[in-house]
């Protein structure tokens, strides 16, 4: 079951084409099965994702959003929308750079689509 994607009234994202792009991208992220969070998926039980606002654009030209995912709890997250192949390359580079670290430096990436 896909999470419902909505927009806060004061999100500042009023362009229908831009909203359609965001809805498509966030809808492509599946919800984790079972009771454990799976890499590249929304948390188990995620029923909706609310787009709160667009943040300053990414250096790569990506669209960066502040979102609120609702599952068994509510969590604020940042979504970075970019072409899939670029996202995969960035994720692999991030993982390579982090593999030798013994302590976490940032919050984990929740999902990529």
Which residues sit opposite 67 in a β-bridge?
51, 77
Name the token pair of 22. Answer: 């965001």
pTM of the model as a whole: 0.78
Give the C-alpha distances (Å, rounded to integers) separating 48 from 30, 40, 60, 100, 104.
12, 16, 28, 35, 28
What CA–CA distance (Å, rounded) separates 21 from 113?
13
What CA–CA distance (Å, rounded) separates 53 from 13?
7
Going by pLDDT thresholds of 50, 70 and 90, the confidence category of residue 33 is: confident
Read off φ and ψ for residue 21, nearest 5 degrees.
-65, -45
Q: 48, exposed or middle or buried, with CB in 10 Å at 0-12, 13-18, 19+?
A: middle
For residue range 17-27, list pLDDT tens digits in order: 999 999 999 99
For residue range 41-87, list pLDDT tens digits in order: 888 888 999 999 998 766 677 888 999 998 877 788 888 888 888 88
Which residues sit opposite 64 in a β-bridge?
80
To the question of domain 4-98 being in CATH 3.30.1490, the answer is no
For residue range 79-104, list pLDDT tens digits in order: 888 888 888 888 788 778 777 777 66
Residue with tokens 């390579």: 96
């Amino acid at each position: 079951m896909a999470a419902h994607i909505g927009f806060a009234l004061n999100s500042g994202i009023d362009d229908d084409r831009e909203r359609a792009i965001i809805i498509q991208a966030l809808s492509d992220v599946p919800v984790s099965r079972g009771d454990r969070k799976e890499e590249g998926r929304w948390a188990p039980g995620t029923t909706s994702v609310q787009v709160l606002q667009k943040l300053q654009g990414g250096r790569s030209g990506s669209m960066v959003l502040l979102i609120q995912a609702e599952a068994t709890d509510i969590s604020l997250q940042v979504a970075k929308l970019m072409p899939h192949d670029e996202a995969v390359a960035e994720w692999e580079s991030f993982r390579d750079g982090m593999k030798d670290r013994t302590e976490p430096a940032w919050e984990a990436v929740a999902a990529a689509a």
